[in-house]
Amino acid sequence: MNNQYLREELIRQSGVNPKKCMKCGKCSATCPAYDEMEYHPHQFVSMVESGDIEPLLQSESLYKCLSCFACIERCPRGVEPAKLVEAVRLSAIRKQGENRMTANDVPALLDEDTPQQLLVSAFRKYSK
Amino acid sequence: MQRVGVFVCWCGSNIAGTVDVQAVSEALKSEPGVVFSANYQYMCSQAGQDMIKEAVKEHNLTGIVVCSCSPRMHEATFRKTAAAAGINPYMVEIANIREQCSWVHKDIATGTEKAIILGKAAIAKVNLNTPLTPGESPVTKRALVIGGGIAGIQTALDIADAGFPVDIVETKPTIGGKMAQLDKTFPTLDCAACILTPKMVDVAQNEKIRIFSYSEVSEIKGFVGNFDVTIKKNARYVKEDICTGCGACVEKCPMKKVPNEFNLGMDNRSAIYIPFAQAVPKVATIDPNACNMLKNGKCGLCARVCTAGAIDYTQKDEYINEKYGAIVVATGFNPISMDKFDEFAYNQSKDVITSLEFERLTNAAGPTAGHLERPSDGKSPKTIVFVQCVGSRCDACAEKGKEYCSKICCMYTAKHAMLTRDKYPDTEVYVFYIDVRTPGKNFDEFYRRAVEEYGVKYVKGMVGKVTPEGDKLKVQASDLIANKQLHIDADLVVLAAAIEPDKSARPLATMLTASMDTNDFFTEAHPKLRPVESPTAGVFLSGACQGPKDIPETVSQAGAAASKVIGLLAKDKLTGNPCVAHSNELMCNGCSSCEKVCAYGAITYENKEFRMPDRTTKIRRVAVVNPAVCQGCGACTVACPSGAMDLNGFASNQIMAEVDAICK
């Protein structure tokens, strides 16, 4: 797959316009999973924009993102880095050709302590 | 029928390169009314103008069509030529065959065809032109300055210096504005008060200047040269002319727990107060929301201690009417509210402050007498984190913050960081920046000094969140150069909050019918060539009400606004634009449609007696246009359902004739 094609695909799927980024780094400043990640939220934005996507697809960082959306909430430019991380993740998972989680798995995971947002995010992460 | 002369300009190769000028002048020769048609290399040159003048004499012309550049460029030139040749300047029409034709076409055939059509339209219009004479109106030789910060002060001083009387209206009890609250000023580090207060005293002592403090503008009527303004003087419950500013009342007042707005609520003042030692006018003011005597009649201590007898609990708001020739808006700015920026914990911790609060904390006249102490426990901070661009440069769709760069923050943050390291060298100082913007004389040198000489740690990155923990502020931030996330235990966090226009600006703009942008900054008449004038005649802009500005820029703009005001007030009479609306009262049915769309308040109604066909008389309500106020925009002519409204020089039949000529 051509990088440029993948870049366009990721931008289309996520609805994120990486050109809006002013490189302030607030997304990475706010990220609670920062130390776990090889590539940080601001790098996702700049690497997708420059078409340097292969390293992201190979990186464990994809699965370290908590989908907490703090970066989306705090970004002063409305870039929404987490959506881009999710788009890259989807494209990696789709290549693997397997569904990690189905709707049937959800009830078993429900308990009082688990925030529902986490399940929704997990479902979204692993179902497509 | 008019006798029309057509003059086609080549504009060197600007027009002649894409338009066959010879063919255009030939084609227009046979148009109705045309008795002369020629072309020339530069119509605007002296030789070109002489050619017009000679043709007027020789062919007895009554109308002129110049096919040339945009009327914005040379309409005035050719009108003068016409006047010099003895015909009414409003008998000139311009066909724009440069900007709207030769510049946008590449093909000569197309360009020539369009130029001929544009010429025909102008000829059709000029055939219906009537001579117009501009009206004159007198000028009231007094200026009003709204806002008493450094912008208003400088404007008023400069106008007064030229000999014209000026009134300053200021909502606060004293003039001085934001600059009075500052500690030092970049990049020279002069003490703000030391350079401002002499100017405030100059204002107070200048016989030409009156200060209406604790007052606001409540109504504006009229037009350039003749504004009629109502100023509301709020009751301060102290007789201004008697109070000596001795401060005995302030000392004795038992209500001492009122948040002090001059120190941004970081300490308290009494219910009767003088904002600061060098206030102008130095007169006490009673805060009616805090004073026991005004609230429930129990106290009266200040009246007892006042030896001058200046206290007057029965004082009422006073309304003053005054006429002005020009109005200068100098309403200034405020830092934006930090309420929506939860991530910085501004509302959770007293030790997260804005930069303006930091100014007060380091000011010798501030709540800590200039000692840098944490607002929470009074300890001196060992680690300080400055965050730039808080609420500036945000996306237009973001729910918080402003889209623009606030311009002054980079420099004042460098100043704060430098001064902290200078006074307290054992303090660690971090500045988180997105970009450092220092375009100004000696600005970048100043910033580099903060880094190189004073050891301020500039980090390229942003603070993501601040969490109060114990007596520390946990700062989580990114260092983009090192590609690291930083965790800093800070004692004080200073936010460089974006600035926004004062809230009073929008209602004022409505009263003035002056235009604003989406951020509520006043719009200038031309961003480059008329930067201190509002598009509304007679209204001028000074300082941050027009856009974020530092002190040197504000002062130079204030002087520029003053010179424009002086230029206006120096005239005895103003010549109006005769291309204004007028209403045909026989057709007007008094429906008020035109009044509603008029952005300038130029239309009023009067009851007029009309003779009816059966010899009776009838009183009808009809629209009347004030030609001095009308700007000739034409909105009313479109809104008028009966076709009574028409525009001189752009009459409906003229425009229809142009359209017909184009469509033929």
In a domain, B512, yes or no: no
In SS3 terms, B368-402 reads as CCCCCCCCCCCCCCCEEEEEEEECCCCCCCCCCCC
Mean pLDDT of chain B, nearest integer: 95
In a domain, B508, yes or no: no
Is residue A2 pLDDT above 60, yes or no? no
Q: Report the CATH number that the domain containing residue B115 is assigned in CATH.
A: 3.40.50
Cβ A34 vs Cβ A64: under 8 Å:
no
pLDDT band (50, 70, 90) for residue B45: very high
B317 and B359 within one domain: no
Phi, psi of B143 (to 5 degrees): -115, 150
- Edge-first strand listing for the sheet containing B463-469: B463-469, B472-479, B484-490
Q: What is the percentage of chain A residues whose pLDDT exceeds 70?
A: 91
pLDDT (0 to 100) of residue B167: 98
B370 and B270 within one domain: no
| Overall size of chain A counted in residues | 128
Is residue B139 pLDDT above 50, yes or no? yes
Size of interface A-B (CB pairs under 8 A): 69
B147 and B296 within one domain: yes
Contacts of B437 in chain A (CB under 8 A): none
User: Does B462 contact A35 at a Cβ distance shorter than 8 Å?
Assistant: no
Contacts of B343 in chain A (CB under 8 A): 30, 74
B93 and B16 within one domain: yes
Assess: ipTM above 0.90: no
B379 and B490 within one domain: yes
Q: What is the CA radius of gyration of chain A?
A: 15
Q: Name the interface residues of A facing B (CB cutoff 8 Å).
A: 20, 22-31, 34-35, 40, 42-43, 70, 74-79
Is residue B383 pLDDT above 50, yes or no? yes
Q: Which two structure tokens, joined as six digits, stand for B323?
A: 């006429």
Q: What's the rounded Cα separation, in Å, for the pair B234 and B569?
A: 29
Other C-beta atoms lying within 10 Å of the C-beta of residue B314: 7
Pairing of strands B499-501, B63-68: unpaired
**Which candidate from B393, B460, B477 shows the least CB-CB separation from A76?**
B393
Q: Report the CATH number that the domain containing residue B202 is assigned in CATH.
A: 3.50.50.60
Contacts of A42 in chain B (CB under 8 A): 478, 480
pLDDT band (50, 70, 90) for residue B122: very high
**Which candidate from B464, B479, B485 shows the least CB-CB separation from A74?**
B464
- Reference B621, options B601, B602, B595; nearest CA is B595
Report CA B523 to chain centroid distance, whole Å: 6
Contacts of A20 in chain B (CB under 8 A): 395
Q: What domain count does chain B have?
A: 4
B264 and B201 within one domain: yes
Strand residue runs (E) in B83-208? 92-96, 136-138, 143-146, 166-169, 184-185, 190-191
Other C-beta atoms lying within 10 Å of the C-beta of residue B456: 23
Contacts of A34 in chain B (CB under 8 A): 478, 485
- Quickly list H helices, B403-442: 409-423
Residue with more model confidence, B513 or B433: B433
Q: What's the rounded Cα separation, in Å, for the pair B611 and B586?
A: 10
User: 3-class DSSP state for residue B354?
Assistant: strand
Q: How far is A52 from chain B (nearest CA, A)?
A: 17
**pLDDT tens figures, A42-77:** 999 999 999 999 999 999 999 999 999 999 999 999
- What residue numbers bound the domain in which B102 lies? 4-126
pLDDT band (50, 70, 90) for residue A1: very low
Q: How far is A113 from chain B (nearest CA, A)?
A: 24
Q: Which two structure tokens, joined as six digits, stand for B385?
A: 């984190």
In a domain, B664, yes or no: no
User: Does A77 contact B480 at a Cβ distance shorter than 8 Å?
Assistant: no
**Angle formed at CA B101 by CA B97 and CA B107, multiple of 5 degrees:** 125
pLDDT band (50, 70, 90) for residue B333: very high
B361 and B228 within one domain: no
The residues, any chain, with a CB within 8 Å of residue A98's CB and separated by 6 or more, are none
**Range B525-532 average pLDDT:** 90
Q: What's the rounded Cα separation, in Å, for the pair A2 and B434?
A: 33
User: Does A26 contact B394 at a Cβ distance shorter than 8 Å?
Assistant: no
pLDDT (0 to 100) of residue A98: 60
Other C-beta atoms lying within 10 Å of the C-beta of residue B31: 19
Q: Is the pTM of this model over 0.90?
A: no
pLDDT (0 to 100) of residue B65: 97
Pairing of strands B285-286, B272-273: antiparallel
Q: What's the rounded Cα separation, in Å, for the pair B402 and B524?
A: 20
**Which candidate from A42, A43, A77 shows the least CB-CB separation from B395?**
A77
Q: For B12, left (φ over 0), alpha (ψ -120 to 50), or beta?
A: left
Contacts of A79 in chain B (CB under 8 A): 395
pLDDT (0 to 100) of residue B599: 80
User: Does A23 contact B480 at a Cβ distance shorter than 8 Å?
Assistant: yes
**Range B467-474 average pLDDT:** 96
Q: What CATH topology corresponds to A3-97?
A: Fumarate Reductase Iron-sulfur Protein; Chain B, domain 2 (1.10.1060)
In a domain, B19, yes or no: yes
